[in-house]
Each structure stands twice: as C-alpha cells, then as structure tokens.
Amino acid sequence: MTTIALITGATRGIGHATAKLLSENGVTAILGARDTVRGEEAAGPLGLPYVRLDVTEPDSVRAAAAWIGREHGRLDILINNAGITVPDGPPSGTTAEEARRVYETNVFGVIEVTNAMLPLLRRSPAGRIVNVSSERGSLGRALDQGHPLWPMLNLAYTSAKAALNMITIAYAKELWNTPIKVNAVDPGWVRTDINHNAGTKSPEEGAAPIVDMALLGSDGPTAAFVQHEGPLPW
C-alpha cells in the first residue's frame, strides 16, 4: 500500500525538498500549492501530484481534503510546512496587523488544515502529523542569554512558532491513544526565500529531519520537538 503525504507550502524551499525526499522513499507526496501554475511547475519535474491549497482560505482547504479523499481515500502523512515571517525588529515596532498576518498562515492555517485532514488521517494505519516549527519558538531557548538566539527579536514570527508548538502538544494529547503521532520539527537555518537565502543549510538538509519524523515507526515519539541535532526544549 502506497503511503500518501500532503505537504503545505510545497512549491519551493523546504516544502519542495521534503516532497522530493519523501518521493525517493516511495511516498506519493502531494504538493500543496496556492497557485495552480506554480503547483504544476513544482510537481511536474518530480512526477508528483499537486493540489491547490491556500491555508488561509478555508474553502480551499476543504476542497483539497475532499480531493484527497476521492483520489486516495486516506492520508498517511500531513506536513504543515507553509509559513511566512516579517523582518526582525523590536516588539514595540511590530503592528497588530503584521502579527495577525503571520498568525493567519503559521497558526490558524495549521489548525484549519489539520482539522480538515484529520478524518483522512484517521483512516491511515499509522498517521503522522509533522508541524514545521523553529528553534526561535522555543521558550527555553528564548530566555537563554548565552544562546545565539538571545539578541534576535521578532514578536510575530517567534510567538507564532511558540503557539504552533502548543498546538502540536494539544493535537498529540487528543490523539495519544491512537496510531497517529504528532510532532514538531525545527529544520534549522535553511537557505530559503523567507530569509533571502541567508541560511547555512540547504533545503535538503532542512527537510531531512522532517522526513525522519514523517516516516517515524510505531516505537517513535509523539509530542516531541526536535531538530537534526536532537530534542529541543519547548
């Protein structure tokens, strides 16, 4: 039985690399794309399907879930990868509108997609949900004055990722006694459009721990927050 995965925000960067690595592991990885043309361009060379999915549009999310249900009957892996940010700066310089825009994608979009896909994941013998988070959303790291992240301030992005971490825990607790495992992954500082390609890791390197958690065995953890180097403090 072929494993079916959905990756949001999969037309480029970490999401696209994740789709490619999953495909190399025999997974049918569906690329979620806001734009049909970009979806076709991203999925075509990989020989993978795509579905129009804008995490900020509930109708789009529901339509994508209905399409997956018709085409595949279930979903084995959900990777909530879509995310945006705003430039770093002091919290007092962040507007509520900027924070709201980040939360629409990074927080509310994850809830919308997860709820829509959960009935399909429940049909899987071993469902997996992987939320792409960030070390910058770790409360433990945020208060460590000796850590390189200490001087970095971005109220909208970091608080949204902290919220995503609690969302991960909440779903993991709801699904605790089911075959579905829910975890958060920090891909690291990856060269992507979101940081103007200033990262130190390639998209493939960032995707590797995401794929590891997506293909987690039955003895693997749930409600974990990890990066390639190991566990992270919440």
Give the residue numbers annotated as catalytic, written as ranges.
157
d(CA 37, CA 29): 18
**Phi, psi dihedral angles at 54 (to 5 degrees):** -110, 115
- Closest by Cα among 128, 120, 139 to 221: 128
Structure tokens at 224: 């974990």
In angstroms, the Cα distances linking 16 to 13, 86, 98, 133, 219 are 6, 22, 26, 16, 28
d(CA 39, CA 84): 18
Q: Given the structure tokens 């997609």, which residue do they identify?
A: 113
d(CA 200, CA 95): 29
Assign residue 196 a region: left if phi > 0, alpha if psi is -120 to 50, beta otherwise? left
- DSSP readout, 20-35? HHHHHTT-EEEEEESS
